[in-house]
Amino acid sequence: MAKCDYCGKGVSFGIKVSHSHRRSNRTWKPNIMRVKAIVDGTPKRVYVCSRCLRSGKVNRAV
């Protein structure tokens, strides 16, 4: 579910390193919002990241 319907941005994985250099897995999740947008001329609820909303890739329905 943590995936943008427009750009495809999803969860990325990496390693958290503590001060004592112990390593453990961690994730970075994108800022996904469920918004009402115009898709193919009709309003529809889609999951969109904040970067797509801010850049104007998504036409929001009022």
pLDDT digits (tens, 9 = 90+) for 13-54: 999 999 999 999 999 999 999 999 999 999 999 999 999 999
Note the pLDDT of residue 29. Answer: 95
Query: Residues 49, 7: contact at Cβ < 8 Å?
Result: yes
- Domain boundaries along the sequence of the chain: 12-55
> Who has greater pLDDT, 62 or 53?
53
Question: What's the predicted TM-score (pTM) here?
Answer: 0.78
35-44 — which CB contacts under 8 Å span 24+ positions? 35/60, 36/60, 36/61, 37/61
Query: What is the Cα gyration radius of the chain?
Result: 16
Going by pLDDT thresholds of 50, 70 and 90, the confidence category of residue 62 is confident
> Who has greater pLDDT, 2 or 23?
23
